[in-house]
Structure 1
Amino acid sequence: MNAEDRIAAASNFLLQSPPGEINDVLNDVRDIIQNDDALQSGILPALKEYNLAQFTTVDVPGCDHQVIVSEAGRIKSLDGGEDRFFDPRSKSTFVFDHLRLEASDPQPHEVDMDAESYRSSLESSTLAYLAAHFEEGVASVFSTPDSTKRYIIQVVANKYNPQNFWSGRWRSEYIVDLGENKVEGKVLVNVHYYEQGNVQLSTTHTVSFTLPPSIAQLQPAQATPKILALIEAEEAQYQASLNDAYHEMGEKTYKNLRRALPITKQKIDWDKVLGYKLGAELTASKGVFGGS
């Protein structure tokens, strides 16, 4: 395998990294490449793709909150330079280092004031929902440059527990279209258990519902909590379905995978398995020859 093939393989591994484990995967692929300069330049496109897709969060310079780094907030460079990312809460942009996961060079950014009133109210309602349901979660709400009636809500919540060999990530994204009076979105859940094994859950749930006409007639401060309440109902229903699926796996699927215990209900001591066999043969011999 040549260097180019090794870089491609390393990039593929990175894109499949479980939540919170990309640094572990990166350290492992270093042994494959054995050239840090080639590794850093070769895998950078994969790191960018991974960070955007996984809703990587970063501290905003000069602020006390985090923002989601995603395609919704990316401002593409027109002169071939570095892309910048937008934080709608602080109304600033920054450069993001996809390798070190750090933000730098914050600069103020002009926003569309026609959309800002509704966006900021939607953000406040989203943050209230976040505080109620996602411990240590992060949310960002973006307006779209092509319309003053379309907004993007993004939520990410991570839970890492390496001491007990599991990690998980919840991502949700909703496009609120006031012009069409509808909300469309998706929920993505990734869970990884790796104690003496490797089991991963990766699932996507799509959401689509129509907003009641009465919401469009309300002021933003009254309308946006109702929109989040509808999102909350959708996510609660999906969470319940996940709980049911986990229960079924525990009661049926995983039990079918386990090796059944012998009739004595005792685990077999494999170091004594020859003794078990000999005892069975002696018992059979007594039955055939009538020994006592």
Structure 2
Amino acid sequence: MDAENRIHAASKFLLQSPPGEINDVLNDVRNIISDDESLQTGILPALREYNLAQFITAEVPGHQHQCIVSEAARVQQAGGEGDEEQQDRFWDPRSRTSFRFDHLALEASDLEPIEPDADSEPFRLALENSSLTYLSAHFHDGVAAVFSTQGNPDRFIIQVVANKYNPSNFWSGRWRSEYIVNLNERTLEGKILVNVHYYEQGNVQLSTSHTVSLELPQTISAENATASASKVLAIVETEESKYQTSLNEAYQDMGEKTFKGLRRALPMTRAKMDWDKVLGYKLGQELSASKGGFAAA
């Protein structure tokens, strides 16, 4: 396999990395490439794609909070995509700064101030405050961000991500949700994505998604930002609670029915079969059958 094909294979492995385990996968694929410089250069597009899709979080230098690195957070450049360095600039509306993100080291740097859109900022800020309130009430350790849409002051994107990594007990998980609020069309479109990985003496992964498509009440408007934002997050809370409940019910059903159906049932004696003595068991059955036949005669 030539170097290009090895890079392509390594990139595919990285894109399938479970939550919090991409560094483990990266260390494993180093053996495939055997060239760290080529590896870092070749897999950068895959790392960028993975980080944006997974809502990777980053510490904002000089601030006491994390931000989400995603497509919605990418700084849009006038006239096109721009060079690679500009492609990796993202903005944190909460601190009103933009930064360059290193997709390999997962670090933010080169901060620059960025002014929000004056027309959309009041409602965006109200959504942000309501999102942070919702986050603190329902997520032990999560990050939320709200972005306005360039050129459309009535369209906003709410993103939430929560990670739980427990390598000592061989499991990891990630919750992602994204909602597009369109005040002009009075719609709420969203999706919830859940990934869980259990790998103690095995390898079991859950990857599931749920879509949301709702019409917003007439009472929600930019003019009544604080109350309207609270109503939007109340809708989000209801939808996510229903989905969480459905997942819990599915897990319970799997434990009580599906997995039990996959298990090998114990014999009537409730004792495990000693496979070293299986021939003896068979011989005993034949003798019992023969004895019964004699008795009948």
State TM-score, norm by structure 1. Answer: 0.95
**Structure 1 runs not aligned, ≥5 long:** none
In the other structure, the counterpart of 2:246 is 241
Distance in 1, matches of 2:220 and 2:253, equals 39
Decide whether aligned partners of structure 1 residues 175 and 79 sit closer, same or farther in structure 2, where only a CA change above 3 A counts: closer
Among 80, 90, 93, which residue is 2:83 paired with? 80
**Structure 2 runs not aligned, ≥5 long:** none
Percent identity for Structure 1 against Structure 2: 67
Q: Shift of residue 273 of structure 1?
A: 3.4
Q: Deviations 1:173-230 (Å, cap 9, x if unpaired)?
A: 0000001111101000111111111111111100011111012275111111111001
Q: Shift of residue 280 of structure 1?
A: 3.4
In the other structure, the counterpart of 1:225 is 230
Q: Deviations 1:141-181 (Å, cap 9, x if unpaired)?
A: 00000200100000000111112111111000000000111
Q: Are 2:174 and 1:151 aligned?
A: no
Q: Secondary structure at the match of 2:185?
A: coil
Count of residues in Structure 1 that have an aligned counterpart in Structure 2: 290
Counterpart residue type for residue 221 of structure 2:
A
In the other structure, the counterpart of 1:3 is 3
Q: Shift of residue 67 of structure 1?
A: 0.3
Structure 2 matches for 1:21-36, cutoff 5 A? 21-36=21-36
Among 170, 187, 195, which residue is 2:192 paired with? 187
Preserved contact between residue 90 and residue 100 of structure 2 (Cα < 8 Å)? yes
RMSD value, Cα? 1.6
Q: Secondary structure at the match of 2:43?
A: helix
Structure 2 matches for 1:100-179, cutoff 5 A? 100-179=105-184
Preserved contact between residue 123 and residue 222 of structure 2 (Cα < 8 Å)? no
Q: Shift of residue 272 of structure 1?
A: 3.6
Q: Deviations 1:36-91 (Å, cap 9, x if unpaired)?
A: 11111111110000000000000001100000000001125654141201000000
Structure 2 matches for 1:35-46, cutoff 5 A? 35-46=35-46
Q: Are 2:17 and 1:17 aligned?
A: yes
Decide whether aligned partners of structure 1 residues 36 and 278 sit closer, same or farther in structure 2, where only a CA change above 3 A counts: farther
Decide whether aligned partners of structure 1 residues 282 and 3 sit closer, same or farther in structure 2, where only a CA change above 3 A counts: farther
State TM-score, norm by structure 2. Answer: 0.93
Counterpart residue type for residue 241 of structure 2:
A
When structure 1 is superposed on structure 2, of 132-141 and 274-283 the one drifting more is 274-283
Q: Shift of residue 35 of structure 1?
A: 1.3
